[in-house]
Amino acid sequence: MTWEQLSHSQPTVVKMLTNSLKKNRLAHAYLFEGGRGTGKRQVAQQLACSFFCAHSVEGEPCGECGDCRRVHSGNHPDVHWIRTDGQTIKVDQIRHLKKEFSFRGVESKKKVYLVEDAEKMTPNAANSILKFLEEPDGEALAVLMTTQYHRILKTIVSRSQVLSFAPLKPDKLVKQLVKEDIPEAQAQTVAQLTSDLEEAKDLCEENWIAQARTKVIQLTDEVSKRPRYAYLMLQDGWLGFFKEKSEMQTGLDLLMIWYRDVIRMQLDQQNELVFFDQEERLKDEALMASQMKLGNNLTAILEAKRRLDANTSPQLVMEQLLLRLQEG
């Protein structure tokens, strides 16, 4: 990728960073915040290339030198990636990072620290990383990335330059996916879940998203029309399909999209439907449910997502959500 290519999706962010590179005025710490698939990781990697590349022209790295190639391959000795260990980023990981701060770079005085999912730092880890942000050591650059800006410590925010990544337009993603022979119904759905083309294609692999849509339709059908059988569908269909925590979160996202589509039907906004191929089902449910009930359903799903993030048993989360959806 080049800065020019990245500017097509994030023009404001790229302009700010390239201007800083041209003037040699990079901040010592950045906080990249924005939704999944908005390009935070790619921009962070490109920034690391520009930071190290000895042949860059006005901030654009050459892409061919050893530094550029190793940054992109993830093998640069002075680029340190910090990722979750299990569900969190632990204080020991940050302590190791702080120990690295005290060493000179392997090949130069420069170092780059890239922290993904920064909102998942434990309180101790978050407080520990403040030392670097308050007292940067030498030519070091830190980039923290988050999809949940509100969970980042205010002290970290105040010591970083915050760059907000705008969500990408779903219609462009849909067109690209359809060009690659992905059915439009699936393309419309994944475009609501991610803005990243590669992630969208991964979701469509082996018809996973098509099967996930079917599970959502089946569960909502049982809840609204055959409530006595909803629990069986949950046990036999839903929990057997959405096995991983990340898959369960995606299933809950799809449930939210479904109930929003029901509200769109009530508001005569059929042209904005995501489950557009299920218009008759949506129409039936729109006639049966009040907007208050649908609002309660959305609130219940958001609460289920929060509890799932807090490591509550997925089965318990879904059983309690099912009860709330049935009660309205």
Whether domain 3-164 has CATH 3.40.50.300: the reply is yes
| Encoded tokens for 114 | 């890239």
Q: How far is CA 22 from CA 26, 71, 79, 193, in A?
A: 9, 20, 21, 35
**pLDDT score for 82:** 92
Q: In tens digits, what is the pLDDT along the chain, a chain of 328 residues?
A: 799 999 988 999 999 999 999 999 999 999 999 987 788 999 999 999 999 999 999 999 999 999 999 999 989 989 999 999 888 999 898 888 777 666 655 566 788 999 999 999 999 999 888 877 877 666 889 999 999 999 999 999 999 999 999 877 888 889 989 999 999 999 999 999 987 777 899 999 999 999 999 999 999 999 999 988 999 999 989 999 999 999 999 999 999 999 999 999 999 999 999 999 999 999 999 999 999 999 999 999 999 999 998 889 999 999 999 999 998 6
Q: Is 210 exposed, middle or buried (0-12, 13-18, 19+ CB in 10 A)?
A: middle
The residue among 234, 229, 211 whose CA lies nearest residue 318 is 234
Q: What is the CATH number of domain 170-327?
A: 1.20.272
Buried b (16+ CB within 10 A) or exposed e, 220-257: bbbbbeeeeebeebbeeebbeebeeeeebbbbbbbbbb
Question: Which residues lie across from 326 on neighbouring strands?
Answer: none
| 314 residue type, one letter | P
The residue among 20, 14, 65 whose CA lies nearest residue 38 is 14
> What does residue 110 show for φ and ψ, rounded to 5 degrees?
-90, 150
Cα gap 71→48, rounded to integer Å: 7
| Helices within the chain (DSSP H only) | 3-7, 11-22, 40-52, 66-73, 91-101, 123-134, 154-158, 170-179, 184-193, 197-204, 208-225, 227-233, 239-241, 245-266, 279-288, 291-309, 314-327
As a whole number of angstroms, the longest Cα–Cα distance in the chain is 68
The ranges assigned to domains in the chain are 3-164, 170-327
> What does residue 251 show for φ and ψ, rounded to 5 degrees?
-60, -40
> Within 10 Å of residue 207's Cβ, how many Cβ atoms?
12
Q: Does the CA dihedral 199-201-204-205 come out positive or negative?
A: negative
Cα gap 61→111, rounded to integer Å: 16
The residue among 186, 195, 117 whose CA lies nearest residue 149 is 117
3-164 matches 170-327 in fold: no
Q: What is the DSSP string of 264-286?
A: HHHTT-GGG-SSGGGHHHHHHHH
> What does residue 142 show for φ and ψ, rounded to 5 degrees?
-115, 135
Cα gap 118→170, rounded to integer Å: 26
Instruction: Assess contact for 6 and 165: CB atoms under 8 A.
Output: no
The residue among 209, 205, 176, 171 whose CA lies nearest residue 190 is 209
Cα gap 293→314, rounded to integer Å: 24
pTM reported for the whole predicted model: 0.64
**pLDDT score for 311:** 85
**pLDDT score for 104:** 58
